[in-house]
């Protein structure tokens, strides 16, 4: 008996890295998996379905059920195709893990238009487009009177929560994914669908240059950079037992899981009419009383 017996899951970008481990874990808990991956380079160029096929082969060799989907989830047609594949091949959809991503890190003054457009497209539209078609499916199911339960897991990043120099495109997309998670949670709750997000840290090809030696496996002890650690949290969030966890964003790293709070005021001034610029110069010390008015230092990394 697995925790996810009888459920059907789509995982985007599941040919390697974190998505691969999520696919293997959910399959190990009994879910049928559509393994989506275009097989692009880390920067988004090219395509090769062999990584997705390797994941499907690993799942089926272990007795599970899975199929490859090589569509680009950042297109409307590709996103529809992956949702249709789950529904038509396996009779429904229970879980959507939006995970696919690319990286084109550059300082703002070096970034060109395609670096901006492609990263925003793959992450932000690549999260929204499959979500749209899954939401249509779950809403129709619910309106037809069938009991409905859905799970969406989005993949944000600490770069989106705190802002990271050199990642204007990526951080903007990941911040958009975080706020979109709250919107979707509010919209889909009435149909029995929860929407949560993770901001992971793990050793993959995407982070090998960023984290370098710090993320290397050390000895035989617990490997806190192993992407398998991330998959465990996903495994929990998609269970029936997590039906009351909704609109949450989790930073996860090794054995550390942080439930993150949203924006809240850190300083304030009030009165019953508008402030002029000159008055705000004079009120600045009150607005920032006890706090630094420079760039926020939120990261606990």
Ligand X SMILES: NC(=O)c1ccc[n+]([C@@H]2O[C@H](COP(=O)([O-])OP(=O)(O)OC[C@H]3O[C@@H](n4cnc5c(N)ncnc54)[C@H](O)[C@@H]3O)[C@@H](O)[C@H]2O)c1
49 three-class SS? coil
DSSP, res 125: I
Q: How many CA atoms lie within 13 A of 46 on its CB side?
A: 9
Q: Which is nearer to ligand X, 122 or 234 (CB)?
A: 122
Which residues of the chain form contacts with ligand X (CB under 6 A)?
A: 12-13, 15-19, 36-40, 42, 44, 51, 72-74, 99-102, 122, 126, 155, 157, 200-202, 204-207
34 three-class SS? strand
For residue 157, indicate whether it is catalytic. Answer: yes
Select the residue whose beta carbon is closest to ligand X and give its number: 17
- Closest approach, Cβ 70 to ligand X, in A, equals 8
For residue 125, indicate whether it is catalytic. Answer: no
Catalytic: which of 125, 156, 170, 171?
170
Q: Which is nearer to ligand X, 8 or 100 (CB)?
A: 100
- Closest approach, Cβ 190 to ligand X, in A, equals 28
Which among 95, 215, 119, 242 has a CA at the least distance from the CA of 170?
A: 119
258-297: b or e for each residue (b if 16 or more CB lie within 10 Å)?
eeeeeeeeeeeeeeeeeeeeeeeeeeeeeeeeeeeeeeee
CB 87 within 8 A of CB 140: no
For residue 171, indicate whether it is catalytic. Answer: no
The Cα 84–Cα 300 span in angstroms is 41
- Closest approach, Cβ 130 to ligand X, in A, equals 9
Q: Which is nearer to ligand X, 149 or 232 (CB)?
A: 232
The Cα 246–Cα 142 span in angstroms is 18
- Closest approach, Cβ 184 to ligand X, in A, equals 16
Catalytic: which of 157, 289, 293, 299?
157
Q: Which is nearer to ligand X, 142 or 168 (CB)?
A: 168
Q: At what angle do helices 50-61 and 17-28 cross, to 10 degrees?
A: 20
Q: Which is nearer to ligand X, 138 or 170 (CB)?
A: 170
Cα-flanking dihedrals φ and ψ of residue 244, to 5°? Answer: -95, 5
Helices (H), the chain: 17-28, 50-61, 76-90, 113-120, 126-143, 158-162, 168-188, 208-211, 228-237, 277-287
- Closest approach, Cβ 33 to ligand X, in A, equals 14
Catalytic: which of 174, 218, 276, 297?
174
Which residues does the annotation mark as catalytic? 157, 170, 174
């Amino acid at each position: 008996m697995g925790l996810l017996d009888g459920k059907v899951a789509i995982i985007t970008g599941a040919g390697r890295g974190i998505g691969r481990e999520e696919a293997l874990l959910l399959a190990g808990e009994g879910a049928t998996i559509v393994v989506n991956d275009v097989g692009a380079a880390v920067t988004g160029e090219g395509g090769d379905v062999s990584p997705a096929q390797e994941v499907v082969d690993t799942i089926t060799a272990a007795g599970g059920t899975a199929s490859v989907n090589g569509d680009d989830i950042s297109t409307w047609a590709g996103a529809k195709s992956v949702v249709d594949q789950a529904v038509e091949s396996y009779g429904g959809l229970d879980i959507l893990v939006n995970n696919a991503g690319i990286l084109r890190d550059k300082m703002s003054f070096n970034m060109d238009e395609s670096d901006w457009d492609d990263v925003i497209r793959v992450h932000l539209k690549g999260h929204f487009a499959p979500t749209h078609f899954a939401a249509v499916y779950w809403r129709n199911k619910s309106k037809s009177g069938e009991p409905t339960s859905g799970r969406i897991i989005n993949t944000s990043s600490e770069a989106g929560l705190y802002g990271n120099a050199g990642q204007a495109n990526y951080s903007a997309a990941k911040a958009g994914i975080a706020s979109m998670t709250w919107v979707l949670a509010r919209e889909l709750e009435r149909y029995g669908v929860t929407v949560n997000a993770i901001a992971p840290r793990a050793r993959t090809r995407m982070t090998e240059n960023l984290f370098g030696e710090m993320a290397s496996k050390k000895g035989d002890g617990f490997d806190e950079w192993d992407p398998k650690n991330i998959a465990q949290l996903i495994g929990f969030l998609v269970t029936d037992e997590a039906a009351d966890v909704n609109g949450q964003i989790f930073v996860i790293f090794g054995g550390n899981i942080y439930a993150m709070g949203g924006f809240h005021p850190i300083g304030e001034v009030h009165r019953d009419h508008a402030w002029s610029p000159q008055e705000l110069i004079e009120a600045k010390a009150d607005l920032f009383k006890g706090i630094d008015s420079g760039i926020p230092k939120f990261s606990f990394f």
